[in-house]
Structure 1
Amino acid sequence: MPHPESDLLPISALQHLLFCERQCALIHVERVWAENRFTAEGQVLHRKAHDGKPETRDGERIARGLPLRSLVLGVSGVADIVLYRPPTGARVSRGSLASRLRRASQDELAEWVVTPVEYKRGKPKKNDSDRVQLCAQAICLEEMHGVTISEGALYYGRLRKRYPVPFDTDLRSSTLSAADRLRDLLYRGVTPPAVREKKCETCSLLPLCLPESMRRRSARAFIDRQLERAAEAES
């Protein structure tokens, strides 16, 4: 059953959920947020992807900062970049590609190749958080345009490389499951308990999520600095 407009959840929350359920609850239930170097770099990368006007390049129309929504999945958000390539063999000049895309009916658009591209600052993750976020964007585009999207791409700024992401049955199933889990988490409104893991080191919410851990780490760092200074003074 379709979700009402007022009930749509942010696509980005799916990435937060699969990275860490506690992080997701802190951000979307408790409305807690903090910046660090990693989030700041990510914001800069997203702005670069969003900024600028749509353009045509290499036979593709490039849309930037495109609003998305899916009433079936119950999510909304913004795509960094969406590539639109006309059907193979179609004669479209550089200047007419934009106007043809604007005038295309849903039946005509169904013949186009539509590819969402999400920008990330780091490198590919072992979990599915980035891929599920991208797949949710594809599901939105499929619903909005009446198309079938077989593949998208993740661009990682640290590696300056684009990685293809096939939208196979398993990934689509994981995306639907994540959307259901997200809705349940936010409906219950309960923040899961903190568990310290290696991935916590890069999380901007670490000082708020585990303040005791941060204080212990700061104390150790202070003692280490004092020992280093004492050793330097003796040498």
Structure 2
Amino acid sequence: MDAPKAEVEPINISALNQYAYCPRRFALIYVESQFQDNLHTQRGNAEHARVDQVAHTTSRSGARVEYALPVWSERLGLIGKCDVVEFWQDGTVYPVEYKHGPRRAWINDDLQLAAQAMCLEEMLGVHINTSAIFHASSKRRREVAIDAPLRQMVESTLEEMRRCMQARLIPPPTTESQRCKECSLRDICQPQATYAGLLSARAALFDPDV
């Protein structure tokens, strides 16, 4: 007789975005429960609130449109919601994620969108080939192919996230300093001070007199 499977604590889809942007940021939020807003997060929250306030269901050019639609996947252990999902008459299901900034490609946004699509597939028994991110500043959509490499990246990233949470690890700061400049947790993270400490510890390891 097979042993019962241990229940997997569901992870919010938005946490996938946080981890892909910066594993340290993810850990500060989801392991140490630290968070702080800045202009970027406030703008993002305002954009999502604006979308969520729209009527729950509307129609557009032959599509039924659902807003703030809850989604989940038991297989992946994910929960969350889609900003917008378009249901077309030919059976196409098309999730759209809203982002406040200009139109540009970020892999963390693409992973979040792919995870939403994978949840919808499991819930509805459909296959989703493409989805889109609507960039509010540019007022333009950017289509994202929900292909095999992106799907695999969702699953491997989720595995890394769970290992991080289970071990209560706080990874070092990202080496992409531009991301630190826009991060609301910069003051909490203190990436420069953390790196200085890591370099000092490494030097002491190889030179005890340091």
Q: Under TM normalisation by the shorter chain, which class is it? A: 0.7 to 0.9
How far does the alpha carbon of each residue in 1:160-192 deviate from its partner, in whole angstroms, 9 at most, with x for none?
A: 110111111111111111111111111111111
When the two structures are aligned, how many residues end up with a matched partner?
Answer: 188
Partner of 1:158: 137
Q: Measure how far apart 1:3 and its partner are.
A: 7.4
Q: Measure how far apart 1:193 and its partner are.
A: 2.4
Change (3 A) 1:172 1:2: farther
Distance 2:71 2:141 in 1: 22
Partner of 2:37: 35
Within the candidate set 147, 159, 170, 2:126 is matched to: 147
Q: Measure how far apart 1:123 and its partner are.
A: 3.2
Partner of 1:131: 110
Q: Measure how far apart 1:127 and its partner are.
A: 4.3
Look at both structures and tell me which one has the larger radius of gyration over its CA atoms: 1
Q: Secondary structure at 1:7's aligned position in 2?
A: coil
Whether the 8 Å CA contact 1:3–1:71 is kept in 2: the answer is no
Partner of 1:205: 185
Q: Measure how far apart 1:84 and its partner are.
A: 0.2
Partner of 2:52: 50
Q: Secondary structure at 1:155's aligned position in 2?
A: strand
Whether the 8 Å CA contact 1:151–1:164 is kept in 2: the answer is yes
Within the candidate set 77, 88, 91, 1:74 is matched to: 77
Partner of 1:20: 22
Whether the 8 Å CA contact 1:59–1:85 is kept in 2: the answer is yes
Structure 2 portions without partners, runs of 5+: 194-210
Q: Percent identity?
A: 34
Distance 1:50 1:41 in 2: 14
Distance 1:211 1:203 in 2: 11
Whether the 8 Å CA contact 1:153–1:163 is kept in 2: the answer is yes
Partner of 2:98: 119
Letter in 2 for 1:43: N
Letter in 1 for 2:162: R
Change (3 A) 1:188 1:41: same
Q: Measure how far apart 1:156 and its partner are.
A: 0.9
TM-align CA RMSD: 1.9
| TM-score, length-scaled by structure 1 | 0.75
Structure 1 portions without partners, runs of 5+: 88-111, 214-235
How far does the alpha carbon of each residue in 1:66-85 deviate from its partner, in whole angstroms, 9 at most, with x for none?
A: 01100111111011000000
| TM-score, length-scaled by structure 2 | 0.84
Whether the 8 Å CA contact 2:173–2:191 is kept in 1: the answer is no
Distance 1:59 1:139 in 2: 24
